[in-house]
């Protein structure tokens, strides 16, 4: 089924968060908006219960908790959007932000780093620059060096 026909928030080709699992809250935004900023609830908080979600596999849930654990409050991931003047645009922005965040967190880890050694030239350049920096600082010092 094409992603635009699936009910819910499409995170990736294999993962769609059902709209029933998403919670939206609206409040007054502090940004631009003229006279309407004091009367319109344009700020959007989009929340998703990661711990209680039925669409996640155990592996996906572990990755999400491991990578986004600092953002979870009681297993709930919350994203806010208030950069637009219209509530509809803020709803879209929050949905895109949540989808991108979840997609990055659920993605499998990259290949392991292969350990390499520094080249001899890079080590020599590093030591040479350290000696030059030391000499420059010695010349700048107001006190004469103790080597004299």
Whether 120 is covered by a domain: the verdict is no
Quote the tokens at residue 121: 């030239």
Whether 117 is covered by a domain: the verdict is no
CATH classification at residue 11:
3.30.160.20
Whether 138 is covered by a domain: the verdict is no
Whether 121 is covered by a domain: the verdict is no
| Overall domain count for the chain | 1
pTM above 0.85, yes or no: no
pLDDT at 87: 87
Whether 66 is covered by a domain: the verdict is yes
| b/e 74-104 (16+ beta carbons within 10 angstroms → b) | eeebebbbbebbebeebbebbbeebbebbee
pLDDT at 100: 93
Q: Which domain holds residue 86?
A: 3-106
pLDDT at 81: 92
């Amino acid at each position: 089924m094409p992603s635009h026909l699936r009910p819910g928030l499409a995170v990736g080709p294999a993962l769609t968060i059902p709209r029933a699992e998403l919670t939206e809250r609206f409040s007054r935004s502090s940004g631009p908006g003229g006279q309407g900023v004091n009367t319109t609830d344009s700020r959007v908080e989009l929340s998703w219960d990661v711990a209680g979600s039925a669409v996640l596999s155990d592996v996906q849930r572990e990755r999400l908790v491991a990578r986004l654990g600092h953002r979870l409050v009681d297993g709930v991931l919350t994203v806010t959007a208030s950069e637009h003047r219209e509530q509809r645009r803020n709803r879209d922005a929050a949905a895109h932000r949540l989808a991108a965040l979840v997609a990055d967190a659920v993605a499998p880890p990259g290949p392991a780093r292969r350990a390499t050694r520094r080249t001899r030239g890079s080590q020599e350049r590093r030591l040479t620059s350290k000696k030059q920096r030391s000499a420059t600082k010695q010349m700048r010092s107001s006190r004469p060096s103790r080597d004299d």
